[in-house]
Amino acid sequence: MSATALTAWPERLYDAYVFDMDGTIYLGDHLLPGAKRLIEELRRRGIPVRFLSNNPTKDPEQYVEKLERLGLPTPVEEIANTVVTTTRWLLENKPGAVVFPIAEEPLIRAFHEAGIEMSDDPEKIDVVVASYDRTFDYRKLQIAFDAIWFHKRATLIATNPDRFCPFPGGRGEPDCASIIAAIEACTNTTCEMVVGKPDPVMAEAALGNTDVDPTRCVMVGDRIMTDIKMAVNTGMFSAMPLTGESTLEEALALPEAERPTHVLDRVDRLIPKVLWDEIGWTEENDPIV
């Protein structure tokens, strides 16, 4: 497949759109070019829009507040992230388990509200949950080590597989993958389940309150190994804006079946070219640039 074919604009609108947020809709505290008018146009046409994030340091209500600040008011029912899916997975797959969350307050609060018992006593822990945790320290690693390796009773799951969280200016912070690696290295164990993208459970969380089949939807995100891979795993179409982590060269290097359906220089090119012309859009008249 040529670069030209890979980056071609969609020829039609999809039945629903699932958007990653960081690196796709915004970066830091600023909307990315075209994001606002794209979301507003899809909503104007009555097409379902959903938001999905691997970041467990915010709960859906916090994302509601952020999108509101950025000028994209969104009901909480249209947002799902790994706070939601990890809590749901534990309730469904580890009922009654005692959990040690290596996590920040939003995930801990969600566990508490769901009635999930938590402990930092290695003799009581059934599941260690690794997460994107900026308070991770040696004490937490020791508790995980004792629960998994010494007492040989706990298993390890994780909220997401991301190596880093992107920041404006090309910087970033180590994400959950680094914490998984530390625990796996010292315990000689393997993470049992990673609940975030690319696992299909995330697509189910995003589309669960719609009646749209995933094969008629498009997943829009900047990361090949999470957003695009989840689309491949669930039969969704995919679009990768070049505003975040992954590059066109990386997309072209993939086997054809694993490539994004579309690679876009800006996210509003998800609107077919004929509709751009009909609406009167240009890059210059984007109200948010």
pTM over 0.85: yes
Architecture of domain 85-194: 3-Layer(aba) Sandwich (3.40)
Q: Where do we find the tokens 């690319």?
A: 198
Residue-wise pLDDT tens digits, 222-245? 999 999 999 999 999 999 999 888
- The amino acid sitting at 67 is L
CATH fold of 3-54+197-279: Rossmann fold (3.40.50)
Backbone angles phi, psi at 161, to 5 degrees: -100, 10
Residue-wise pLDDT tens digits, 146-165? 999 999 999 999 999 999 88
pLDDT in tens, the chain (289 residues): 444 445 678 999 999 999 999 889 998 889 999 999 999 999 999 999 999 999 999 999 999 999 999 999 999 999 999 999 999 999 999 999 999 999 999 999 999 999 999 999 999 999 999 999 999 999 999 999 999 999 999 999 999 999 988 777 778 889 999 999 999 999 999 999 999 999 999 999 999 889 899 999 999 999 999 999 999 999 999 999 998 889 999 999 999 999 999 999 999 999 999 999 999 999 888 876 5
Kind and range of the H or E element at 229?
helix 229-234
Taking the CB of residue 213, how many other CB atoms lie within 10 A of it? 12
C-alpha of 46 from chain center: 24
Asked if 207 and 5 count as a contact pair (C-beta separation under 8 A), the reply is: no
Domain with CATH 3.40.50.1000 in the chain: 3-54+197-279, 85-194
Which 3 state secondary structure label does DSSP give 264? strand
Please state at what angle helix 200-207 crosses helix 82-93, rounded to 10 degrees.
Answer: 110
Residue-wise pLDDT tens digits, 113-127? 999 999 999 999 999
Residue 2 pLDDT: 42
